[in-house]
């Protein structure tokens, strides 16, 4: 009996000088290294990356279009909405006069600027006014028509502690 060598198992024919594979083995191996096979592999890789890019672009487009449709950023006001020497606070303009005047004259001044004496709507607004008024006292939009009457704001509402 003949002994089978490793070379014979692999389909190699042993000659004196060299070991050559059988033609059938070469034919089977040759299809893995052809330009056609490499081209097909490259095409599959390119198509896969193209598909991934399309999915990413579609996802980003969806996110940005929703973000633009429902703008989450507040509108920025670039111009000062108040006249010179007036202070902007919580969507209102305030003016702290340096001159003493009677209540009615002060109210008339405010009306001439399309405003009114301050109407205090919240504790925060009261604290703001106290902080900015300085050591001087200023008129607010609260008055009493007669000595025994109710305190009323200039907008017609009754004052409540």
The percentage of the chain sitting over the pLDDT mark of 90, rounded to a whole number, equals 16
pLDDT confidence of residue 154: 87
Going by the DSSP 8-state scheme, the letter that residue 18 receives in this structure is -
Q: Of residues 28 and 112, which shows the higher confidence score?
A: 112
156 phi-psi bin (left φ>0, alpha ψ -120 to 50, beta other):
left
Q: Where are the domains of the chain?
A: 87-153
Q: Say if domain 87-153 classifies as CATH 3.40.50.300.
A: no
Question: What confidence category does residue 147 fall into, taking pLDDT thresholds of 50, 70 and 90?
Answer: confident
Nearest to 141 by CA among 128, 158, 124, 127: 158
Mean pLDDT of the chain: 78
Query: Does residue 18 register a pLDDT over 60?
Result: no
Q: Sorting pLDDT into bands at 50, 70 and 90, what band is 7? A: low
């Amino acid at each position: 009996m003949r002994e089978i060598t490793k070379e014979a198992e692999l389909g190699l024919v042993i000659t004196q000088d060299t070991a050559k594979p059988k033609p059938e083995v070469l034919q089977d191996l040759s299809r893995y290294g052809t330009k056609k096979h490499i081209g097909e592999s490259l095409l599959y890789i390119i198509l896969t990356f193209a598909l991934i890019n399309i999915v990413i672009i579609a996802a980003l487009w969806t996110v940005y279009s929703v973000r633009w449709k429902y703008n989450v950023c507040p509108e920025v006001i670039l111009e000062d909405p108040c006249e010179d020497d007036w202070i902007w606070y919580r969507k209102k303009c305030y003016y702290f006069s340096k001159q003493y005047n009677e209540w009615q004259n002060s109210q008339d001044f405010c009306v001439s600027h399309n405003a009114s004496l301050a109407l205090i709507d919240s504790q925060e607004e009261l604290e703001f006014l106290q902080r900015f008024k300085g050591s001087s006292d200023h008129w607010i939009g609260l008055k009493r028509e007669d000595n025994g009457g109710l305190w009323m704001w200039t907008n017609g509402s009754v004052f409540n502690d």
